[in-house]
Structure 1
Amino acid sequence: MSTRPRTGGVYPNIGAVGGASTLVSIIGALLTIILIIACLMLIVCAATWAVAAAHGNYHSVTKARTGVLVAVGAAALAGAGVAWMNFLLHLGSTL
């Protein structure tokens, strides 16, 4: 007789969570709002950067440049979060 334990497959069961479809739609809506706000912030900060640079206001240029970088970072993190979660769900189903 072997004393090794039996190993069974362990898989994520996303459907077992009550209201999973509602949760998915809420998260999708939040990510959409984040991307829209990041794009609007990018447009406003880029325009501010251009106007401030044209008028020689270097303090405002620095603030606007920081805003552009934050907007790009927020959009990248929102997109990377979706990609990371999809990767982990796919990885979990193959274990």
Structure 2
Amino acid sequence: MSPLAEHVLLAFDPGITPSGGGLPGLAVLKNVVSSINLFGIIAVVGALAVSLAVWAWGHHSGGHQAEANGKKGAVVAAGAALGLGAANGIVAFFSALGSQVQ
């Protein structure tokens, strides 16, 4: 058998997998986390609006520092919105990677 065909076990598998319903309160925890995510998205909308206003004000008033800070704030707010919106998918993707080891 070639060295590439051999199965190499890199770490000990304790055989523990996540399961829903093991502890009480899972529905409440999901509701709390969803609410935190919603508040985060609402805050990002406000931050984006303020950043865009600072960017526009800095551009039209000749305030280069304010314009630069507005641009940075807009990029950070857009990145935060992307992260908040994709958080569930990112965790699901990387969680599924661990279950593909044979």
**One fold, TM greater than 0.5?**
yes
Residue type of the partner of 1:85? V
Q: Which residues of structure 2 form unaligned runs of 5+?
A: 1-14
Higher relative contact order (CA 8 A, sep 6+): 1
Q: Deviations over 1:23-53 (max 9, x none)?
A: 0000000000000000111011101101110
The match for 1:77 is: 83
Kept in 2, the 8 Å contact 1:35–1:75? The answer is yes
Corresponding residue pairs, total:
87
* Equivalent runs, 1:39-50 vs 2, <5 Å: 39-50=45-56
Identity across the alignment (%): 28
More helix by share: 1
Structural RMSD (CA): 2.1
When residues 19 and 89 of structure 1 are mapped into structure 2, their CA distance, relative to the original with a 3 A threshold, is farther
Q: CA deviation at 1:17?
A: 2.6
Q: Which residues of structure 1 form unaligned runs of 5+?
A: 1-8
Q: Distance in 1 between matches of 2:99 and 2:70?
A: 44
Task: Return the TM-score normalized by structure 1.
Answer: 0.77
Q: CA deviation at 1:79?
A: 1.4
